[in-house]
Amino acid sequence: MRCSCKQGANIYTVGEYLSDCVNFAVPDGAVTAICAERDIEPTTHYGYVDQRDRDLLKADLFVWICVGPTKVNSTSDSDNGWSHSEGGYQLTDEDKDRMLAYAKTIYDKYGEEFDYDDSVEVTVSSFGIQPCDYNEAGIPLPHEVSL
């Protein structure tokens, strides 16, 4: 596919396209990893990537979002009157189901396998700060945790 853009014009990249596919910030590292899985540089001009690859990258992005946390908090910085904030987001189960259905449609269209298993749940528990034990010399002993 040939690009009809002029020399020196702003170039819309595949990485920018992926970031623009959703209404919240996607980390650059995630975009790079998604593109790397398909052997496409995120800095590649959007016009040089065929529709099939763009669709599959978008489906990969949606799956990446759905396996991540449901809620991402916003962050903000301020200093002497200056402030900057980046918004977070919260996805409902319905949002995730819709994104996964869309991704599955794309994978089916191009004959790709879709092996997402949403029945797996990961739970992280914290025991908080535990008091330590000391040996005879008064040196703190490391905690031994069994799972």
**Domain presence at residue 24:** yes
Please report the pLDDT score of residue 53 as a whole number: 95
Please report the pLDDT score of residue 113 as a whole number: 87
Which pLDDT tens digit goes with each residue over 94-126?
888 899 999 999 999 999 988 766 666 666 665
Please report the pLDDT score of residue 129 as a whole number: 65
In the DSSP assignment, the letter for residue 47 is: G
Q: Residue 43 pLDDT > 70, yes or no?
A: yes
Q: Say what the pTM is.
A: 0.65
**Domain presence at residue 125:** no
For the stretch 87-126, what's the b/e string if a residue is b when 16 or more beta carbons lie within 10 angstroms of its beta carbon? eebebeeeebeebbeebbebbeeeeeeeeeeeeeeeeeee
Please report the pLDDT score of residue 48 as a whole number: 94
**Domain presence at residue 59:** yes
Residue 52 belongs to what domain range?
Answer: 14-109
**Domain presence at residue 2:** no
Please report the pLDDT score of residue 137 as a whole number: 87
Name which residue leads in pLDDT, 131 or 96. 96
**Domain presence at residue 120:** no
First to last CA, the chain: 54
Please report the pLDDT score of residue 24 as a whole number: 79
The answer to whether residues 24 and 89 touch, using CB atoms and an 8 Å cutoff, is yes
**Domain presence at residue 5:** no
Name which residue leads in pLDDT, 41 or 84. 41
> Structurally, how many domains does the chain consist of?
1
**Domain presence at residue 27:** yes
Mean pLDDT of 116-141: 71
Please report the pLDDT score of residue 2 as a whole number: 43
Q: Which of 3-7, 26-30, 44-48 has the lowest mean pLDDT?
A: 3-7
Helix or strand run (H / E) with residue 34: helix 28-37
Task: Give the whole-number percent of the chain exceeding pLDDT 70.
Answer: 67
